[in-house]
């Protein structure tokens, strides 16, 4: 926090007169020059479109393949866990059923 001694050394400026728009020269953004848009031929446009389409499809294929691999691994793990949990009980039920009937 500023002390009274600081304000004596560094006096705060006080705006006493209003500033009119004409008093200040501000740079206007409308004076910025923009390059003219390039004219693209139909052939160039078709080439760019084909390349973008091919790259987009390749990216989508890679992302989908990765997602499918992850889903496959997750499903495989879930099925393996269920088999590990349920298969011993199933085998026990079948053995007991067959051993009790005398077949």
Residues contacting 40, CB < 8 A, separation 6+? 48
> Is 40 a domain residue?
no
Write the DSSP assignment of 52-95 as a string of letters: HHHHHHHHHHHHHHHHHHHHHHHHHHHHHHHHHHHHHHHHHHHH
Can you give the pTM of this predicted structure? Answer: 0.46
pLDDT tens digit string along 5-45? 655 677 777 767 766 666 666 655 555 677 777 888 999 99
> Is 85 a domain residue?
yes
> Is 17 a domain residue?
no
What proportion of the chain, given as a percentage, has pLDDT over 70? 71
> Is 24 a domain residue?
no
> Is 34 a domain residue?
no
> Is 79 a domain residue?
yes
């Amino acid at each position: 926090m500023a002390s009274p001694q600081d304000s004596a050394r560094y006096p705060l400026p006080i705006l006493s007169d209003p500033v009119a728009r004409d008093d200040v020269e501000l740079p206007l953004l409308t004076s910025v020059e923009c390059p003219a848009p390039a004219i693209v031929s139909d052939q160039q446009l078709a080439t760019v479109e084909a390349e973008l389409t091919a790259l987009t499809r390749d990216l989508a294929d890679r992302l989908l393949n990765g997602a499918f691999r992850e889903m496959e691994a997750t499903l495989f793990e879930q099925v393996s866990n269920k088999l590990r949990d349920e298969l011993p009980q199933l085998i026990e039920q079948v053995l007991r059923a067959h051993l009790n009937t005398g077949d």
